[in-house]
Amino acid sequence: MNMEHLRNNPDYHRRLLAEWRKLLRGEMVDPRIVREPIYSSWIRSRGWKVDPEQELVHSIPQEELDLLLEEESQLLDITTPVMMQLVDILGKTGNSLVLANARGIVLKVFNSDERARPRPVKPGDFKREALLGTAGLSTALQIREPVEVVAEEHYRRMWHNHTCVAAPIFDSRGGMLGAISVTSNREAFHHHTVPFIRMTAKHISEQFRLHELLAEQKALIEMMDDGIIMLDCDGGITTINSRASLVLGVDAPLAGKSVRSLFLPFPQLRLIEQGQAFYNEEVTIQMPEHASCSCILSFIPKDADGGGGVLILRDISRMREYASRVSGSKASFTFRNIIGQSSVMQNAVGQARRIARHDMGVLILGESGTGKELFAQAIHNASLRREQPFVIVNCGALPRDLVQSELFGYTEGAFTGASKGGRIGKFELADRGTIFLDEIGEMPMDAQINLLRLIQNQEVMRIGDKMARPVNVRIIAATNRDLHEAVRQKQFREDLLYRLNGFTLRVPPLRERLEDIEELINFFLSRISSRSPEFRSRVFSSSAVEALKRRPWPGNVRELENVVERAVYMSAGRIIQEEDLGELAVPPSESVREEALSPLGRSERSRLEALLTRCRGNVREAARELGCSQSFLYAKIARHGMKARDFRILGAPAREGTRTLNDLSPAQIERLFMLLGEDT
């Protein structure tokens, strides 16, 4: 139907009024006369028992309206300027412009004309079809489509002299936010009002979608781990997220300022102003009235012609932490992973726990295979730096000419073959965390000098760089060498030794804690069965365990692990017997070593006691005098139930400055007898 024709057709209005009266009498309405959306609305209105003669208006209390206006502030903010433009277009033509929310509650009346309505519409009024019947706002909200209601098409008699056009407003997901309407006397109604109101509703919907898009964009930018600064074509800051403010160390609003006014000149600033892209440049930015900051900076222009773009700032410390995670620089072990209930092992663990509480450097001493790295990781995980990187450097495995570049890093062009852009060193990767320098005794002398400077100044200088970078690193060093002997041989700097030696932790060798062997065997068996379920039922017999306890274990726990694994794979039965160990049951070359001990004869224990007493418990000196290895002598001492340290306070004859029994206090003598046993 042509609505322009219907509005001005008296015959249509006469027939429409007749159909409306039939509706009130409960008779069938002719759908050929009444337009479809109006006919359906009439039927719904009659079903809701709307009184067509009633003039009562439903409204919400003022307190509820105030809360509602606050909730709908975004809809009002977006709609108001657009509706005011429509008011200017329509002028003083007896129109009334209204905004209602999705619940049908009037939020704002933009141009209320007394001639436009039987009574003025005010905010808080309900405009629902279930209350008002067929009308512009109520029906548009009901059917979610634009609608025009002319004169007698209204369900209630009070509106029969008015024409209303309404259109709903939607968000980006198709959710209905509300509707707008224009109402006027039917004689004053202008047919251009219909496209105006539809275009206005569509424009408001588009504005709302744009605001949602900008809000989502801002939320995404705010969620990013990187600092983001968006620039317009003049270099002005349009958006900056909190991460960028944190990296720059500023909390004042920066939107609207130019990059030129924010930063003092630095090399990459010219590229930003020229619209030239660059990526992952390490820069130091100085800002007026603020301290300088170092960051990783990238710039992505909006287009090839320049004019605006995006600055991406990455915190150097966060990049180091990320690089550490990617490179696997993480401490996995804790003190719960250290196996051993022997007194010497429990003493070492207790000492390490106390060391972990403090932030001084640690020097871990122990033979190869005793678990020095395990202790280093456990100390880190029990310290306040547990959430920060744990970087491992094996100083003995690095080529001598690459030690410094690996530890301290280098700049681009520092030497032939240097990577483009340079490379960050291990100390910078470990910033705020812990670095474990294994086999520190193998570090070259020139690297020792730079390491000493780093410890003293808490800053690292990359090779080829002129700028020192502050670092906060706890150093845990480990070695199986006698560093004091290395100092005497001019192979290790004495001042560096004292710098590293904040805390000293000695990890006992396996031969000093033979009672832990059975527990270690069970642990290795469990680990083997988890990898290879077919060996799940393997166990060691007591004789096999005792045979393993008789070995000197020069390779310590690492050697024991290999022995257990090999025995499991080579055994035919479920229970591994002593004979299944084969040559593993007898320490290598023991027959040769027995010859070295042949002068001891049958009184082996007494001669061992005499030897250790003469050497004052110094096993190295005793082994040299006897002509055997220290590990073999330790095994012999343990076999007889003795401990070398029991002989360290005895000796013959006393040298100058050495105490004798006459010099000991009663308490010390009592302790001495306890150490030597009841037979004494």
Q: What does the pLDDT average to over 258-275?
A: 79
User: Is a pLDDT exceeding 90 seen at residue 570?
Assistant: no
What's the pLDDT at 166?
94
Q: Which residue has the higher pLDDT, 87 or 135?
A: 135
Question: CB under 8 Å to 460, separation ≥6 — which residues?
Answer: 408, 409, 425, 427, 428, 454, 468, 469, 471
* Interatomic CA distance for residues 461 and 502, integer angstroms: 24
Res 184: pLDDT: 84
**Over 50: is that where the pLDDT of 198 sits?**
yes
> Is residue 335 scored above 90 in pLDDT?
yes
- CA distance readout (Å), 432 to 246, 281, 445, 665: 18, 22, 26, 48
- What band does 357 get if pLDDT is binned at 50, 70 and 90? very high
165-184 exposure pattern, b = at least 16 Cβ within 10 A, e = fewer? bbbbbbeeeeeebbbbbbbb
Residue 341 has pLDDT above 70, yes or no: yes
Q: What is the pLDDT of residue 654?
A: 39
What pLDDT does 582 receive? 62
Distance CA 628, CA 622 (A): 9
CA gap 652, 613 in Å, rounded: 7
Q: Coil, strand, or helix at residue 232?
A: coil
Query: To which H or E segment does residue 294 belong?
Result: strand 293-301
Distance CA 68, CA 76 (A): 11
Least confidently predicted of 43-57, 243-257, 347-361, 433-447:
243-257
The Cα–Cα gap between 631 and 162 comes to 110
Say what angle helices 542-549 and 556-570 make with each other, to 10 degrees: 150
State how far the Cα of 603 lies from the Cα of 147, in Å rounded to an integer.
117
Architecture of domain 36-214: 2-Layer Sandwich (3.30)
Q: What is d(CA 200, CA 37) in angstroms, rounded to the nearest whole number?
A: 22
**How far is the C-alpha of 51 from the C-alpha of 265, rounded, in Å?**
76
* Least-confidence region, from 190-199, 310-319, 544-553: 310-319
Rounded-to-integer distance, Cα 560 and Cα 574, Å: 19
Please tell me the distance from the alpha carbon of residue 173 to that of residue 176, in angstroms, as a whole number. 9
Which of 138-154 are b and which e, b meaning 16 or more Cβ less than 10 Å from the residue's Cβ? bbbbbeeebbbbbbbbb
Tell me the CB-side half-sphere exposure of residue 500, using CA atoms within 13 A. Answer: 28
Residue range 146-175: average pLDDT? Answer: 90
* 41-70 average pLDDT score: 90
> In this model, does residue 507 exceed pLDDT 70?
yes
| Sequence-ordered list of residues with C-beta below 8 angstroms from that of 587, at least 6 positions apart, any chain | 550, 551, 552, 593, 632, 635
| Identical fold, 36-214 and 226-315 | yes
Look at 4-8, 248-252, 399-403 and tell me which has the smallest mean pLDDT.
Answer: 4-8
Q: Which of 132-141, 224-233, 383-392 has the weakest average pLDDT?
A: 224-233
What is d(CA 440, CA 421) in angstroms, rounded to the nearest whole number?
29
8 A C-beta contact, residue 162 and residue 186: yes
Strand partners, 116: none
pLDDT at 148: 93
User: In the prediction, which pLDDT does 599 show?
Assistant: 39
Fold of 327-506: Rossmann fold (3.40.50)
Q: Exposure pattern of 533-555 as b/e (b: 16+ CB <10 Å)?
A: eebeebebeeebbebbbebbbbb
- Most confident by average pLDDT, 152-156, 239-243, 315-319, 329-333: 152-156
| Region for 108 from its dihedrals, namely left if φ exceeds 0, alpha if ψ lies in -120 to 50, beta otherwise | beta
> What is the residue extent of each domain of the chain?
36-214, 226-315, 327-506, 510-588, 596-676
Superfamily per CATH, domain 226-315: PAS domain (3.30.450.20)
DSSP 3-state helix, strand, coil percentages of the chain (rounded to 5)?
50, 15, 35
117 band by pLDDT with thresholds 50, 70 and 90: low
Report DSSP state, residue 126: B
Sign of CA dihedral 139, 206, 120, 189: negative
- What is the pLDDT confidence band of residue 650, given thresholds at 50, 70 and 90? very low
CA triple 42-47-49, angle to 5 deg: 95
User: What pLDDT shows up at residue 270?
Assistant: 82
Residues with Cβ within 8 Å of 73's Cβ and at least 6 positions away in sequence, in order, are: none
Q: What is the pLDDT of residue 32?
A: 87
Residue with tokens 């340079």: 422
Please give the single-letter amino acid code of residue 647: F
The CB-based long-range contact list for 519-523 (8 Å cut-off, 24+ gap) reads 519/339, 519/340, 519/341, 520/339, 520/340, 520/557, 520/560, 520/561, 520/564, 521/545, 521/548, 521/560, 521/564, 523/339
Query: How many angstroms separate the CA atoms of 543 and 529, rounded?
Result: 22
pLDDT the model gives residue 605: 76
- Highest average pLDDT, of 8-12, 45-49, 297-301, 348-352, comes from 348-352
Percent of the chain topping pLDDT 90 = 33
Class level of CATH domain 510-588? mainly alpha
Contacts for 631 with CB less than 8 Å, ≥ 6 apart: 509, 511, 552, 553, 554
Cα–Cα distance list, 630 to 194, 626, 645 (Å) = 104, 10, 14
Report residue 88's pLDDT band, with 50, 70 and 90 as the boundaries. confident
Given this model, what pLDDT does residue 602 score?
Answer: 39
209-228 average pLDDT score? 80
Report the range of poorest mean pLDDT among 318-327, 386-395, 531-540, 617-626.
Answer: 318-327
Residue range 603-623: average pLDDT? 80
pLDDT category of residue 177 using cuts at 50, 70 and 90 = very high
26 or 379: which leads in pLDDT: 379
Inter-residue contact 574 to 539 (CB < 8 Å): yes
Looking at residue 596, its pLDDT comes to 37
pLDDT value of residue 323: 55
* Mean pLDDT, the chain, whole residue set: 82
Tokens of 645: 């340290």
- Angle in degrees, CA 651, 652, 656, rounded to 5: 90
Higher pLDDT, 178 or 88: 178
* Per-residue model confidence (pLDDT) at position 300: 86
Distant-in-sequence, close-in-space partners of 206: CB < 8 Å, separation ≥ 6: none
Cβ-count burial 189-216 (b if 16+ within 10 Å, e if not): beeebbebbbebbebbbebbeeeeeeee
CA 670-672-675 angle, to 5 degrees, is 115
* 644: pLDDT strictly greater than 70: yes
Q: How far apart are CA 244 and CA 24, in angstroms?
A: 68
Distance CA 373, CA 338 (A): 11
CB atoms inside a 10 Å sphere around CB 503: 18
**How far apart are alpha carbons 101 and 108 in whole angstroms?**
10
pLDDT band at residue 71 under the 50/70/90 scheme: very high
Q: What is the pLDDT of residue 614?
A: 83
Q: Which residues contact 423 (CB under 8 A, 6 or more apart)?
A: 405, 409, 410
Strands 362-365 and 503-506: parallel
- Kindly give the pairing relationship between strand 106-111 and strand 390-394: unpaired
